[in-house]
Structure 1
Amino acid sequence: MQEIGPFGTSGAPAGHASYTASIRTAGFDPTVTSPAGDPYGGSVDPNAPGGTPVLVAPGATTTITVTITPTGKPGTVVTGHLNVVTAPNQPTGTTGLPQAGTGEVLAALPYQYRVG
């Protein structure tokens, strides 16, 4: 916060400002795994191994295997979406989030299952 003057030779009067923010995001389904991993997993779990990007040439196609291992009370319906993303572009090391830049969401694939 910066006060707008003019002020005399004693300067601006003392001031105080505070700001609080919160956010609620969609949950992560830990029952969904892939050999490709998750390049953003460290944002949720600092011990996550990260990802192994799958390289796809322009115009080419590939298959990315995903395994869902349901847990929970039988009959529970779980819905979500799988994001196919590009990898973050600037790793930052061990402080803060594991990436400084973000990737692009190429596709969001919805899924739903009922715990059997």
Structure 2
Amino acid sequence: MEQQQGETLKRGLKDLYIQLIALGGTVGAGLFWGSASVIQVANALNVVILTAALSVYNSCVYCNNLMLFGLAQQGNAPKALLKVNSRGVPVISILFTALVTGLCVLLNYLIDAGRGIWLLMAPFMLR
């Protein structure tokens, strides 16, 4: 771009604009560092939540095996669930619980949430 004689191109920013740019950069960096600490807290909280969920799952698996075994002893569940190994562990109850858990995980992976809810409700809605 050629400048014609008599025209001058004014370059430069006023001091106020420079101060605002510097302030914006500082505030932006401050917000970024603040969000980084929030992300770290969220990661730690996710670890705590995941540990709690795994603990609940572990206790449910333990209790389900014993409940199935107890129901079979009372005659309220199939007699096949009474089978134990040499250490007295109800093997068939454990395998049945593992099978149902695996089926639930597979259905959760394959079916979207809306259809999954209907799939779970369907047996109770039929009369």
TM category (shorter chain) comes to under 0.3
Which entry has the higher C-alpha Rg, 1 or 2?
Answer: 2
What is the TM-score normalised by the length of structure 2? 0.24
Whichever structure has more helix as a proportion of its residues is 2
Whichever structure has more strand as a proportion of its residues is 1
